[in-house]
Amino acid sequence: MRIIKEILHPDELKAMAGATFGNLVKAVVDADKAIIAVDAELHSDLEALLLENGSKQKSLWGINLYPEIQGNNFIEFDSMINMRPSLGNRSRGVDDEGMRNKIVEIVAKRIKR
């Protein structure tokens, strides 16, 4: 597991995918700190890592990254940690379009394509 505060290169992301799920890397984005935790079997493990490092629960969103896919399908908004009815998110996705856009911006900033 790693917290990406600078830039992750595509070859590193591909290697992570190959070592675990083959075609995807699980990630959790801290929307307030603009950082990403990557490379674990469960989003909840990445969530715990970020919480241990000072992140706030309400700022964390789980995604999957597909290193071999270009365009909009590179990011999949799907994680159990996203289910937060008390905050208005009633699905495993990210229901708020503004938050999805922010996550896309953070991923673009932190992961070189």
Q: What is the domain extent for residue 88? A: 2-110
Q: What is the domain count for the chain? A: 1
- Which tokens in the block code for residue 19? 């070592």
pLDDT at residue number 72: 86
27/77 Cα distance (integer angstroms) = 10
Q: How confident is the prediction for the chain on average, in pLDDT?
A: 96
Express each pLDDT in 18-62 by its tens digit.
999 999 999 999 999 999 999 999 999 999 999 999 999 999 999
How far apart CA 113 and CA 97 sit, in angstroms, is 23
62, 79 Cβ separation under 8 angstroms: yes
Tens-digit pLDDT profile for residues 56-80? 999 999 999 999 998 889 999 999 9
Please report the pLDDT score of residue 18 as a whole number: 95
